[in-house]
Amino acid sequence: MDISSPVINKEVSSLYRNYVLVMLTLVYVFNFIDRQVLVILQESIKEELHLSDTQLGMLSGFTFAVFYVTLGNTVAVSLGLWSIMTACSGLARNFVQLLLARVGVGVGEAGGSPPAHAMITDYFPAKKRSTALSFYSSGLYIGILTGFLMGGYLNQQLGWRAAFFVLGIPGIILSLLFYTTVKEPRRGATDLSAAVTKDEHSLGHVLKFLYSRKTFVYLALATGSLAFCQYGMLNWAPSFLMRLHGMKISQIGVLLGLIVGISGAIGTFTGGFLTDHFGKTDARWYLKIPAYAILIAIPFIAGYLFLQNVFLALICLGCFVLLLSMYLGPSIAVVHSLVPASMRALSSAILFLVLNLIGLGFGPLVVGFISDQLKPTLHAESLRWAMSITLVVSAGAAILFFVSAKKMLADLKLKS
């Protein structure tokens, strides 16, 4: 893990450990503010730059994801870079310029989560790890809340270009604070049984190791499939509510920000708490609980897409976001439990490579492409039916979580 601060070689206080967790969570908040602000602005951008739904899907998904999963950096430097590139998005005059700015955001954000996951695992013991990682992952939804609220308001008052500038600058300041106050923990500091190792592992070695753990293989596919549903639904939510329910962008920013942000944060933390609680007696609950949550969420996804009453549709939105957000912290905790401490950052990076390439890369793009193909016959309804692909994919994700849980105990025995 590459962080340009001195390594901590002694036990740290609970206060500092929690401070690091909060700082890492704030970085993740800005990660999703800068990533998702485009989503709330996309209808205004589409109108001014004359874009298709497929191009919007590329901007908010595929191009960003390709560079997000192939490049890495340190946390502080990454935060500064993606914040600068978010501000630069406001200078774009055409599709290519905006695409390049979003590539820059993806490059910057590549260095955020994998080292953060490893730091949290090294600061928090196994019995608290899923909860800590879920607290960190809740930054995703706090970022969406802030990005939607501020993005919608700024777009209404000052235009979409100003929104990029205003939301990009604070991250630069946070990157300086993070760099000067957050230290790297000793690798494997919270592991009870394993001796601390300083061995470095090649990408090929880690890939071979993870492929031999079928828990990871099925889990990576499960998280990728679920992320496909999340990004396919949420990245198109503003457009869906504008086109199908006639809502204004200022209304959408407030409602989506509050509903998605609050329900997602609650669901993420709840998933970590429940899996840490039930996982004490059977580790398979770390993956079974997300699987059951997905199955319960499917009727709410259908309700959101097909109910004509906007109030009921928004209630369904809040319910399925809460349920679908319960997987991330437990999934990261499971991956870290399968590998030696020296492999954790790279293992997280590989998990996020699959998750983001399938989910962020193809979710918005596939929905946008299908919408464009259906538009000549279904018109505005094309987006509704394009988004309905998530019903099938979410069922597949639940099955993959159950299969991964079935493989888990055997793989944990291999480590011990």
Q: Is the dihedral angle over the CA atoms 339, 345, 346, 348 positive or is it negative? A: positive
Residue 56 lies in a domain: yes
What is the structure's pLDDT at 76? 59
What are the tokens at 143? Answer: 């970022």
Residue 7 lies in a domain: no
pLDDT, tens digit, 9 for 90 and up, residues 124-181: 887 788 888 888 888 888 888 888 787 777 777 777 777 777 777 777 777 778 878 8
Residue 208 lies in a domain: yes
Rounded to two decimals, the pTM is: 0.73
Q: How far is CA 195 from CA 120, 127, 186, 341, 348, in A?
A: 18, 19, 12, 9, 21
Residue 2 lies in a domain: no
What is the structure's pLDDT at 195? 45
> Based on the structure, what is the number of domains in the chain?
1
Residue 408 lies in a domain: yes
Rounded to an integer, what distance in angstroms lies between the CA atom of residue 142 and that of residue 130?
18
The CATH number given to whatever domain includes residue 116 is 1.20.1250.20
What is the structure's pLDDT at 106? 57
Residue 194 lies in a domain: no
CA of residue 229 relative to chain centroid, distance: 12
Single-letter amino acid code for the residue at 57: G
Please, is 89 exposed, middle or buried when counting C-beta atoms within 10 Å of its C-beta (0-12, 13-18, 19+)?
Answer: buried
Does residue 318 have a pLDDT over 50?
A: yes
Residue 278 lies in a domain: yes
Task: DSSP letter for 7, please.
Answer: B
What is the span of the domain harbouring residue 28? 14-187+202-415
- Ramachandran angles phi, psi of 294, nearest 5°: -65, -45
Please report which confidence band the pLDDT of residue 45 belongs to, taking 50, 70 and 90 as the band edges: confident
Decide: helix, strand or coil at residue 184. strand
Q: Which residue, among 80, 109, 76, has the nearest Cα to 182 in the 3D structure?
A: 76
Please report which confidence band the pLDDT of residue 299 belongs to, taking 50, 70 and 90 as the band edges: very high
What is the structure's pLDDT at 274? 93
Answer whether 153's CB lies under 8 Å from 251's CB. no
What is the structure's pLDDT at 328? 87
pLDDT, tens digit, 9 for 90 and up, residues 386-398: 999 999 999 999 9
Residue 1 lies in a domain: no
